[in-house]
Amino acid sequence: MKTIDYLAQIYDPGTPIALKDIRIGGKSKSAIKQELYRAYKERRIMRAGSGIYYLPDDQSTLPPFVGFDEIVRKKYVCDDHGIPGFDAIDVYGYYTGLTFLNDLGLSQQVPAIIEITTSRTKANKRVFTVAGSPRKAWIRKAKTDITFENYKILQFLDMFSYATDEEIKNNQQKLRQYIRKNHFSSYLFAKYIGLYGTKTIAKISKGGLLDAFI
């Protein structure tokens, strides 16, 4: 089956498609890349960023809009595949820094740049941009492999690298509730806290949160 025909059966126009996720029978990654290149030249598929494509809408005179958030989420955070039979979300990153502090309600400051920690970069820190978009994202290398099972505890522990003592103190009950809601156990805490420095442990202890990990 031709790659474009296969993709058209699975993805709606405008949906981000990551090259790394395309698998067709015994086709090699090189063969798939060559087909995508030819299809792109023929305008049968469009590029939304490095390694990210989308199908145009033949029924519309306007090209589908693929937003920056969609692209960066697909490339560095997670993928629900959009394929029948895939129930679990493939997670390989999480939002961090001021982005996550804002989501938690610890900071009212709206982040100008999205910050993401991911398993899908080799650089310790880099800027991700998309042609035609003025927006940027900070991409950071993960301390360990990120999965659906561990991303929430890693994201939470990572948060202490950015939160101030005052933000932690003023939101102690909110953080304790978050720990209980996500069932962060003492086992999970002990398993991953070693990835972080003594400053993180000190902030958690000083913030009165150690006994919240059940």
Q: Tell me what pLDDT residue 66 has.
A: 66
How far is C-alpha 5 from the geometric centre of its chain's CA atoms? 28
Block residue for tokens 């080799």:
122
| Residue 202 placed within a domain | yes
| Residue 42 placed within a domain | yes
Q: Tell me what pLDDT residue 169 has.
A: 93
Residues of the chain with pLDDT under 70: 1, 58-66, 80-88
26 and 106 in a single domain? The answer is no
Q: What is the mean pLDDT of the chain?
A: 86
| Residue 48 placed within a domain | yes
104 and 33 in a single domain? The answer is no
- What is the spatial distance between Cα 6 and Cα 128, in angstroms, rounded to a whole number? 29
Task: List the domain range (segments joined by +) for residue 189.
Answer: 90-212
CB 151, CB 91: distance < 8 Å: yes
> What is the total count of domains within the chain?
2
Q: Tell me what pLDDT residue 83 has.
A: 46
Q: Tell me what pLDDT residue 94 has.
A: 96
105 and 60 in a single domain? The answer is no
pTM of the complete model = 0.73
59 and 112 in a single domain? The answer is no
| Residue 51 placed within a domain | yes
114 and 176 in a single domain? The answer is yes
Q: Tell me what pLDDT residue 135 has.
A: 87
Q: Tell me what pLDDT residue 87 has.
A: 46
30 and 129 in a single domain? The answer is no
- What is the spatial distance between Cα 207 and Cα 170, in angstroms, rounded to a whole number? 9
CATH code of 34's domain: 1.10.10
The DSSP bridge pattern shows strands 114-118 and 17-18 to be: unpaired
57 and 107 in a single domain? The answer is no
| Residue 36 placed within a domain | yes
44 and 120 in a single domain? The answer is no
Angle at 132 between CA 127 and CA 138, to 5 degrees: 15
Return the SS3 of 61. coil
Q: Tell me what pLDDT residue 80 has.
A: 64
44 and 96 in a single domain? The answer is no
